[in-house]
Amino acid sequence: MIVGATKRVRFWNKPRERERGGERPKHEVAEILRAYLGEYEKKYKLSYRQRCVVNNILACRTAALGGYIRMCDKCGKTEIAYVPCKDRHCPKCGAFEKAQWLEEQKRWLLPIHYYHVVFTIDHVFNRLVWRNKKKLYNMLCRVAAKVLKAYGKRYLGGEIGFTMVLHTWGQRIQEHPHVHTIVTGGALVKGEDGYRWRAGKKSYMLPATDFSAEFRDAFCAALEKKWREGEFETGDGEVDVEAMLAEARSKKWEVYIQAPKGKTWDLLDYLGRYIFRIAISNHRIVDVADGKVTFEYYDNEDDGKLKEMTLTAVEFIRRFLQHVLPKHFQRIRHYGLHHPACKEKLAAAREALGGSRSGPKIEKLKMGAWLEEILGKDPSKCPYCGEGKMIELRRFGPIEAWRLKFAPLVGLIYRWGLAI
């Protein structure tokens, strides 16, 4: 059931078979960057931050970052594996980090239902946002948090808990800054006899129309205040903030509110999907040819149907790089009962719900065990003979560019050395 929304929006997309099965993607973002970055730079200028991200993606899992040599203890076959870049914008990295993040979220989960709330600002502000990313992303999160906290006090009479995750893109990799929020379906209320839990209705969270207008007014007011104080870069007046505010205030904004659907873990898994990655995965890229890139996307305006879109490679790179976040920007934020400073209140909420004050034990995942669970087989098993185990022999650091062409010979030379 969708509460307070007029559009049907697809938020839980089933992964395609090739992603579930671990099949390698046909094309990669790194491949597109290698082939067309030069053409892109003839038209656009890379910022220092974008340059760092591009370099990391290009170097990811190559000899440029170093790696290690493994050998089978049974058949003696050797192989070279290269280390990942671990950049949060890299489409090839972040899966293990996401799994660990999901495990850590158990610390604030309660045996209740949760709402999924999405705050989106009007697209009229896009030109201003992309000139002032850090300030306006922070403003979006803070204003959304403020109106949510007020909701908890006004409608439930207590303190709620919620976790926010910033997304800056839509399915077509276009500019679309919004915040996904998972909100407790109830609040912790303090009375004369101590704390008690007041549950909210599953089918109704709040008056969506009024709540959306409140968010719109609060965001526009905060933006106008900062603008009049000279906080924003507007290109010497090239960006007409006053006209933007007038247009935004004249429209009806819509905060998407989704009533509890499925398991809370499904929602967390959806949110975690893009926390350690950027706007598009390599598996969505269908074709790269003749200076064009074709990728798959879900059309939320057409009942979530899977479609394909083709862009020039230069436009694809532009859209991809516009979602590079400012350095050290905090994409995930916890508030209320989910905040680390509210451990005692969270314990009181557990107790009020009839459980133990102590939270669940958070496990530290191990890469080997995690890979075995994901792949369905022992990752250390020799891929050649199928009997032995691949033992790490030696690690090596980054290989300089002029030496890269000799990298494939390293394993052979090392094996030959062991043989004699």
Q: What is the pLDDT of residue 302?
A: 87
d(Cα 378, Cα 9) in Å, to the nearest integer? 39
Tokens 């995690």 sit on residue = 370
135 within domain boundaries: yes
Q: Is the pLDDT of residue 104 over 50?
A: yes
Q: Is the pLDDT of residue 1 over 90?
A: no
Q: What is the pLDDT of residue 9?
A: 39
d(Cα 153, Cα 109) in Å, to the nearest integer? 20
Long-range contacts of 59-62 (CB under 8 A, 24+ apart): 59/85, 60/30, 60/84, 60/85, 60/87, 60/90, 60/92, 60/93, 61/85, 61/92, 62/404
141 within domain boundaries: yes
- Return all residues near 104 (Cβ < 8 A) that are at least 6 apart: 362
Q: What is the pLDDT of residue 5?
A: 38
Range of the domain at 265: 2-13+91-287+328-355
d(Cα 24, Cα 27) in Å, to the nearest integer? 9
117 within domain boundaries: yes
Q: What is the mean pLDDT of the chain?
A: 87
Torsion region of 359: left, alpha or beta (phi above 0 gives left; psi -120 to 50 gives alpha): beta
Please name the helix (run of DSSP H) or strand (run of DSSP E) that holds residue 321, with its range, or none.
Answer: helix 313-321
Q: How far apart are the first and last CA of the chain?
A: 69
Q: Is the pLDDT of residue 12 over 50?
A: no
When pLDDT is averaged across residues 304-328 and rounded to a whole number, the result is 95
Among residues of the chain, what percentage have pLDDT more than 70? 89
d(Cα 144, Cα 146) in Å, to the nearest integer? 5
For 161-284, strand residue ranges (E) read 161-169, 175-184, 186-191, 194-199, 256-258
pLDDT digits (tens, 9 = 90+) for 229-287: 999 999 888 899 999 999 999 999 999 998 777 677 777 877 777 677 788 999 999 99
205 within domain boundaries: yes
SS3 339: coil
Residues counted in the chain: 420
pLDDT digits (tens, 9 = 90+) for 167-223: 999 999 999 999 999 999 999 999 888 999 999 988 888 889 999 999 999 999 999
Tokens 């549950």 sit on residue = 199
Please name the helix (run of DSSP H) or strand (run of DSSP E) that holds residue 114, with its range, or none.
Answer: strand 114-120
Among residues of the chain, what percentage have pLDDT more than 90? 65
How far is residue 224 CA from its own chain's centroid? Answer: 29
202 within domain boundaries: yes
Q: Which of 105-109, 176-180, 220-224, 403-407 is predicted with the least confidence, judged by mean pLDDT?
A: 403-407
d(Cα 200, Cα 185) in Å, to the nearest integer? 5
Q: Report the side by side order of strands in the sheet with 285-289.
A: 285-289, 292-299, 305-312
334 within domain boundaries: yes
Torsion region of 386: left, alpha or beta (phi above 0 gives left; psi -120 to 50 gives alpha): left
Burial of 413 (0-12, 13-18, 19+ CB in 10 A): exposed
Q: Report the side by side order of strands in the sheet with 67-72.
A: 78-82, 67-72, 390-396
Read off the pLDDT band of 4 (50, 70, 90): very low
Q: What is the pLDDT of residue 359?
A: 82
When pLDDT is averaged across residues 305-309 and rounded to a whole number, the result is 95
Tokens 């502000």 sit on residue = 125
Closest C-alpha among 232, 21, 23, 206 to residue 117: 206
SS3 363: coil
Using an 8 Å Cβ cutoff, are 145 and 332 in contact?
no
Q: Which of 2-11, 23-32, 84-93, 169-178 is predicted with the least confidence, judged by mean pLDDT?
A: 2-11
150 within domain boundaries: yes
Please give the residue that has the higher pLDDT: either 8 or 168. 168
Pick the most confident of 266-280, 282-296, 395-409.
Answer: 282-296
Q: What is the pLDDT of residue 402?
A: 46
The pTM assigned to this predicted structure is: 0.85
Q: What is the pLDDT of residue 11?
A: 40
Q: What is the tally of structural domains in the chain?
A: 1
Burial of 156 (0-12, 13-18, 19+ CB in 10 A): buried
When pLDDT is averaged across residues 28-57 and rounded to a whole number, the result is 96
Task: Residue 196: count other Cβ atoms within 10 Å of its Cβ.
Answer: 16
d(Cα 215, Cα 143) in Å, to the nearest integer? 7
Closest C-alpha among 269, 121, 268, 99 to residue 183: 268
120 within domain boundaries: yes
Burial of 22 (0-12, 13-18, 19+ CB in 10 A): exposed
Q: What is the pLDDT of residue 103?
A: 87
pLDDT digits (tens, 9 = 90+) for 353-389: 998 898 888 888 888 888 888 788 888 999 999 899 9
